[in-house]
Amino acid sequence: MAGLCEGRVAIVTGAGRGLGRQHALLLAKEGAKVVVNDIGANVDGTGRDESHAAQTVAEIKKAGGDAIVNGDDVSSWAGAKNLIDSTVKHYGKLDVLINNAGILRDRMLVNMTEDEWDAVIQVHLKGTFAPTRHAAAYWREKSKEIGGPVKAAVINTSSTSGIYGNVGQTNYGAAKAGIAAFTVIAARELRRIGVTVNALSPSAQTRMTEGLRELTPEQVAMRDPKWVSPTVVYLASEEASDITGRVFQAGFGRIAICEGWRRGAEVAQVSDPREAGRLFREMLPKVRKNSGMDGIELD
């Protein structure tokens, strides 16, 4: 039986370790040719070591798959463009882009530095925008060339910190919330050329989440990255060509489809601020409170 992604060419950013590595391995197992992109930075974004990407590629090839290493910095406009161009040059096409690269520089808001803010926004938000933008330009031209939809897919990486909110991560959470919004808008823009755009909010134990909470051995097993990747690989397949603009949560015992912001209780507008305040207070008990980090518990 052919693999779910047989013959598709997929880029996975941040694929040297953790979730990205697992995505790359499962994509290859399902028949995709994989570009393993990773600069090999530390969790805080410092340092460079491409050996991690090389190890992922070696593992894929040992299992009979096809993969290459790419060390471009996806948070750089030029680096992101080279990633897309070199993939097309090597494999002749591009079908799937999985934006997974990320760093952490957690700090309470009152202590956060400008560099801690800028670095996280750069890697996560620009590191999602830049590759997607260059891939979209390629797919637009391809659509014109073939005279129809390209059947391509983008899978971005959001987070519960972004869609629900987590203390100590205003930089990371803002970036991840931005990625969720970016996903919805890009999906609407690229639908006409046959590109789906979805996002994943993973629950997994990786080097970015180690030490954040106490976990039992059973909980660690449930947070293995292997439970997240099946959702990603399905969304990367042509079978998911009718699913777009969604944020999925996967891992820690569940797969869920997250619901976005919706307008709740409302009243007619008024000119008096005191009257507006009175109306707010009447409406507040009628609407759902914000979710907790589990997506259900209310603050």
SS3 category, 72? coil
Question: What local confidence, expressed as pLDDT, does residue 207 receive?
Answer: 47
Strands 254-258 and 247-251: antiparallel
What domains appear along the chain, each with residue ranges and CATH number?
A: 9-258 (3.40.50.720), 263-299 (no CATH)
| Choice between 121 and 212, residue whose per-residue pLDDT is larger | 121
Q: Which of 91, 138, 164, 172 is catalytic?
A: 172
Does residue 204 carry a pLDDT above 70?
A: no
pTM: 0.91
Q: Is 143 a catalytic residue?
A: no
Torsion of CA 62, 99, 229, 211, to 10 degrees: 100
Range in 40-44, 89-93, 109-113 the model is least confident about: 40-44
Q: Which of 75, 143, 159, 229 is catalytic?
A: 159
* Cα–Cα–Cα angle for 13, 22, 55, rounded to 5 degrees: 75
pLDDT, mean over the chain? 92
Q: Is 29 a catalytic residue?
A: no
pLDDT grade for 45, boundaries at 50, 70 and 90 = low
Question: What local confidence, expressed as pLDDT, does residue 47 receive?
Answer: 64
Strands 96-99 and 152-157: parallel
Q: Is 159 a catalytic residue?
A: yes
Chain segment 212-242, per-residue pLDDT in tens:
566 666 766 566 888 999 999 999 999 999 9
Calculate what percentage of the chain has a pLDDT beyond 70.
90
